[in-house]
Amino acid sequence: MSYTAPVKDMLFDIQHLAGIEQIAQLPGFEEAGLETAQAVLEECAKFNEGVVAPLNVDGDKNPSTWKDGQVTTTPGFKEAYRQYREGGWQGLQHPGEFGGQGLPKTIGAACGEILNSANLSFALCPLLTDGAIEALLTAGSDALKSVYLEKLVTGEWTGTMNLTEPQAGSDLALVRTRAEPQPDGTYKVFGTKIFITYGEHDMADNIVHLVLARIPGAPEGVKGISLFVVPKFLLNEDGAPGARNDVHCVSIEHKLGIKASPTAVLQFGDKGGATGYLVGQENRGLEYMFIMMNAARYAVGVQGIAISERAYQKAVEYARERLQSRPVDGSVNGPAPIIAHPDVRRMLMTMRAITEGCRAMACVAAAAYDAAHHHPDEATRQQNQAFYEFLVPLVKGYSTESSIEVTSMGVQVHGGMGFIEETGAAQYYRDARILTIYEGTTAIQANDLVGRKTARDGGRTAQAVAAQIERTEGELAQRASADAKAVAKRLAAARKAFLDVVAFIVQQGKASPNAVFAGSVPYLMLAGNLVAGWQLARSLAIAEDLLAKDEDANFLRAKIATARFYADHILAQAPALRDSIVEGADSVMALAAEAF
């Protein structure tokens, strides 16, 4: 099935919700207005629709293979990556001084969605490289930056993130990989890392591994972890890859989805130790790795939106073609395309509304990131940083959990044919299933939202978000249309439910931690639902205003209808989530562990 990038919807969000012309007023982004965004997205769509998307099905059927320590990617991937690199796509939102284009995240994130919709497995390689770049930009020495950054930013080399070990998954305090200091200032790294995405492949000349390890004598727990650059190939004096470093891929995983993406088990130090270079200061590795993780968490949220969009397009295509049953209203005398049936329409609208809501939320988060890093006013930067950090677990958690629902619904639209691999619907469902797990499970995102983003500041950031939502409610309530008034009503009910939960967390966090964390994931889902619904509510008001000016009527009416559906069918779930969190906490822990 072909893929068509939703450029028009993306540009609507970028222009009207993110405020790209305001972003273009920020220092460093002067050339990054709407005209630039449109040109970049259209070129990105052309490349991914024509080059990357056609490889998606073949990657699922003919995944990466491992033999004698070497990984061979799906036929066509290497050539597609060469074109990706030569097109400058890796450096889109990275600094010009290292060979990037320095565009805002607001534009870069939209391009990331297009790439991930085209081919989730392929897109994982650039995603991990982006994380490595962010970590080195923030914590790398000038020497490390000069050696590695330009090669990573241009995509000539790729990057990885090495956290997980057989005994240390989400609990990084258990990391055992060790790094022994050498007289020349380097380190010898020994250990095993698992689940390393693109830890070995044939698409680039070098792979730059960022590795968490312990230096002898380091404090126990997470306070004693350091971060190291460990390249696949050591470098010659001219900076070109030379001798092979002592890091080897001993196997790759056989997975439910994202099959073309090689997930490697890496062994460091089998032959005397892998040469590594300390990033930043000793024992601050987790702090630096979180820079990579936060970049990756946002990006994985975008992956959820991307796979939802792909599943939605596939479902619509099938629903238009599949003839089945006479419509209940008798509008067709005989079998009709299943898109005529109310329940199929309900499923398609659910898929569409969730995808557009999550896209709008991610776009607004990206705009906040841009302002947090480039606005000249310190107070404005801090305000936007707090807003962005609050939204990251929502973008990651809500968008990915929703992607499982959306892709599952895509299978359901196909009926029995959805269960048959040849239709393609099942691949999206399988691919989506990892998104709520890697880069921090949904529960970890929820713990972050409860602890760091809500309880720590007494709920102030959450309340500030709610205050913005209340202003939108007021604006909608003043409008003449029934749609605006109905959405305002739903938004108000969801906001009040959200504030009740925030108050519950702040009041009970220390006294009843089990009760609070029993509702952590429902809280994340409520918050994500609310913020996505808020952005669609803003979209409705904007679409009504543009429609009054006789602009693109079909697109704008669809935007209004989608926002209304979201409010009636999805945002309406928020009060029930509030009840389960605030009033249902005791029942979660009521059954003794031994009774299971």
Write down the domain spans for the chain.
7-64+71-153, 159-283, 441-585
CA-to-CA distance for 492 and 436, rounded, in angstroms? 29
Is 345 exposed, middle or buried, given 0-12, 13-18 or 19+ CB atoms closer than 10 A? middle
CATH 1.10.540.10 fits 7-64+71-153, yes or no: yes
Please give the pLDDT value at position 294: 85
Sequence letter at residue 548: A
> Among all residues, which ones are annotated catalytic?
439
| DSSP tag of 214 | B
Give the β-pairing of 263-268 and 187-197: antiparallel
Q: What is the pLDDT of residue 337?
A: 96
- Identify the pLDDT of residue 391: 98
pLDDT string in tens for the chain (596-residue length): 699 999 999 999 999 999 999 999 999 999 999 999 999 999 999 999 999 999 999 999 999 999 999 999 999 999 999 999 999 999 999 999 999 999 999 999 999 999 999 999 999 999 999 999 999 999 999 999 999 999 999 999 999 999 999 998 888 889 999 999 999 999 999 999 999 999 999 999 999 999 999 999 999 999 999 999 999 999 999 999 999 999 999 999 999 999 999 999 999 999 999 999 999 999 999 999 888 888 899 999 999 999 999 999 999 999 999 999 999 999 999 999 999 999 999 999 999 999 999 999 999 999 999 999 999 999 999 999 999 999 999 999 999 999 999 999 999 999 999 999 999 999 999 999 999 999 999 999 999 999 999 999 999 999 999 999 999 999 999 999 999 999 999 999 999 999 999 999 999 999 999 999 999 999 999 999 999 999 999 999 999 999 999 889 999 999 999 999 999 999 999 999 999 999 999 999 999 999 99
CA dist list (Å): 365 to 103, 106, 352, 521, 528: 15, 8, 20, 20, 12
What is the C-alpha to C-alpha distance for residues 381 and 374, in angstroms, rounded to an integer? Answer: 7
- pTM given for the model: 0.98
Pair 229, 146: CB distance under 8 Å: no
Architecture of the domain defined by 159-283: Beta Barrel (2.40)
